[in-house]
Amino acid sequence: MRRGLFGKLAVQNIRNNRSTYIPYMLTCIFCIAMMYMMEFLRDCPTLEKAVPQASEVRMIVGTGEVVVGIFCVIFLIYSNSFLMKRRQKEIGLYNILGLEKGHIGKVMFLETIMTSLLSLAAGIGFGILGSKLSLLLLFRFLHVPAVLGFYVSITGILFCITGFGGIFLVILALNLTRVRMNNPVELLKGGNTGEREPRAKWLMAFLGVICLGVGYYLAVTTESPIQAIFIFLLAVILVMAGTYLLFTAGSIVILKLLRKNKKFYYKTSNFISVSGMIYRMKQNAAGLASICILSTGVLLLLSMTVSLYFGMGDIMMNRYPFDTDAKISGISQEQSEQFQKVFAQAMEDHQVPAEKTVTETYLEIGCKQGKNGIMIGQAYNYPEDGNSVDLYTIRQSEYEKLTGEKTDLHDGEIFAWYPSEKEKDILKIDDWDFAVKKWLEKAPLSAMTNLVSNMAAIVVTDSDFEYIDGLRTKMYEGLDAYEAGKDLTVHLGVDIRGSSEEKIRYGQTVYQALKDYCRSGGFSENTIVIGGVGQVQYETYYVDNGSILFIGIFLGALFLMGTAMIIYYKQISEGYEDQGRFQIMQKVGMSRREVKGAIRRQILLVFFIPLVMAMVHISMAFPLIRRLLLLFGMANTKLYVGCTAGTVLAFALVYGLIYSMTARSYYKIVEKA
């Protein structure tokens, strides 16, 4: 062989196959740039200067980087498989012309080296250019001032070279294996070999319906937010399996049923579309299912992260109803009163400009909702199946202090708040039937902000309070727990007038005074103080949620790119396959306009089925996602609906744009016939 021949062939092959090589290289460049930017954010020294919780941000970015890396490996291998499929005839022709498989391997090695080096250089270059923008975007989401400066991450460069270099070597090994294993004649035939009509696989279609139905059922019926964590993964697996089965088997079943309908089938446009789609779905069902799954992933990811970000005010209000908020648990009534004195004294000593204060003492017990009422059973033995309930018990004297309302309760009578139960005359707690004197319209305690658990509150006499506390004590028999009367909780809160800085300054002094008293007051190790200064927690939460939103946008962009490339590859491959069909349909008497219209209807139908299916998935997942968001303190359903609708609309517009661009490439290929 003449020296330099293989290099010339490699260059010529890249030029001749630029319609497939360019998208592949753009995909590589995009993935490399994203990985560099994420590694840059983990390595950037200016992050510590701007963000106090830099370690948390790095951890979140690192987690996102792992997801991006896994996706890049899978998708680049998929993209390369399409590239090799389009080059089957070319490789077969080389064999026929006398090139040995070893020679073809050298050519492919050189092609891989050229495309890899170009992709790495361009990807790292664009990553360096985009790294500053990504850092500024991250700072914007974190609500921290931008720190100027220029930094090139050597770690990021080395990471991209080693990581993607390894991926490209794996791809090369797969390509060489494919060349070595395939017969030259079969390669030369390419996709022109005769193909049998796909069989209708009723069992697989039925299993797809079952998987999808069960997944939807779990998503719609799950009530407990805690249970939703475990159900979510199972529902995702079932829906993914159902989607693939319905696209691969269910679509063929539906098309063959349409073909049996003679009135529908024997119309010119329907005849061409249905007959063509039977073969098309066999070839592209997996790709269409992948588009559907990726589209669903983009929509879920972006709608959730955007909702959490813009719902931050509501989330913080649920977690911290006051500017400074503290709950001290594991104390007696006397200790509660001492904490209230410390709280009042701290505000007086530091001249805190209090706008509103609250002090409320209560008994909280984790219970189970049975068929006949609330049961105080064995500690830590409550199933997370939606049947658990947090029971807040309040003395009538405490309720009168909080509301200024005269209760005039007698033993066995209660005021009750329990939205999950219908307003009955009797509320059963264990073996005791309490007569409900009044159903409260709202929660009687500002501390009742737990969105995860089902909640109930009762106002009782002192005697009944001791009785219920006795049930709690019995519940903890055999365990290291508080005796009766020493497991109360006091909630102390204050809203402060002034700026954010003033709220932080005054709030920290008050909160620190409570913590200092707890440490020095001789309390049990089990006595704990939880809460904090709302403004400080707000800033911390911005760091966490801003980082998650940033990663969500990165992953959403990556998934969207993956969706676009799958669509592009599908359109190009179908364009080459439809060249012959286009010629045949014109030869049998159909006009160019009729042929183009029939093909357009077919493409539109196939193209938008995954989007419609993704929207169905999103709508069915809504109840489950709404419960998952409760774990983050997000209870604003209207906001989530709005964010989801906006995300779906934006994605649909981008999806339509992708269709428009790829359809043009398809028609150019077809019309060359």
Q: What is the pLDDT of residues 317-348, one digit of tens each?
A: 777 788 888 898 888 888 899 999 999 999 99
* CA separation for the pair 247, 245 (Å, rounded): 6
pLDDT for the residue 120: 93
pLDDT band, very low/low/confident/very high, at 638 (cuts 50, 70, 90)? confident
pLDDT for the residue 194: 46
pLDDT for the residue 481: 58
* CA separation for the pair 136, 142 (Å, rounded): 10
* Comparison of pLDDT for 101 and 533, the residue scoring more: 533
pLDDT band, very low/low/confident/very high, at 215 (cuts 50, 70, 90)? very high
Which residues have CB under 8 Å from 375's CB, separation 6+?
A: 367, 368, 369, 429, 430
pLDDT for the residue 61: 82
Asked whether residue 233 carries a pLDDT value surpassing 80, the answer given is yes
Residue for token pair 């992948």: 290
Q: For the packed helices 18-43 and 154-181, what is the interaxial angle rounded to 10 degrees?
A: 150
Tell me the torsion sign for CA atoms 363, 365, 369, 374: negative
496, containing H or E segment: strand 488-496
81, containing H or E segment: helix 54-86
pLDDT digits 0-9 by tens, 161-206: 999 999 999 888 888 887 777 665 555 555 554 455 566 678 888 8
pTM exceeds 0.85 for this model: no
pLDDT band, very low/low/confident/very high, at 380 (cuts 50, 70, 90)? very low
Residue 372 has a CB neighbour count (10 Å cut-off) of 10
pLDDT for the residue 362: 93
- Residues 644-660 have a mean pLDDT of 85
pLDDT band, very low/low/confident/very high, at 596 (cuts 50, 70, 90)? low
pLDDT for the residue 452: 65
User: Is the separation of the CB atoms in 80 and 167 below 8 Å?
Assistant: no
pLDDT digits 0-9 by tens, 384-426: 455 778 889 999 999 999 888 888 899 999 999 988 776 778 8
* Comparison of pLDDT for 233 and 537, the residue scoring more: 233
3-state SS, residue 364: strand
* CA separation for the pair 6, 506 (Å, rounded): 76
pLDDT digits 0-9 by tens, 514-572: 888 888 876 766 677 888 887 777 777 777 777 777 888 878 888 777 777 777 777 77
Q: Are strands 413-417 and 432-439 parallel, antiparallel or unpaired?
A: parallel
pLDDT digits 0-9 by tens, 11-51: 887 887 777 788 888 888 988 998 898 888 888 877 777 67
CA dihedral 576, 579, 580, 583 (to 10 degrees): 180
326, containing H or E segment: strand 324-331
| pLDDT above 90: percentage of residues in the chain | 12
User: Is the separation of the CB atoms in 58 and 38 below 8 Å?
Assistant: no
* Comparison of pLDDT for 276 and 236, the residue scoring more: 236
Asked whether residue 275 carries a pLDDT value surpassing 90, the answer given is no
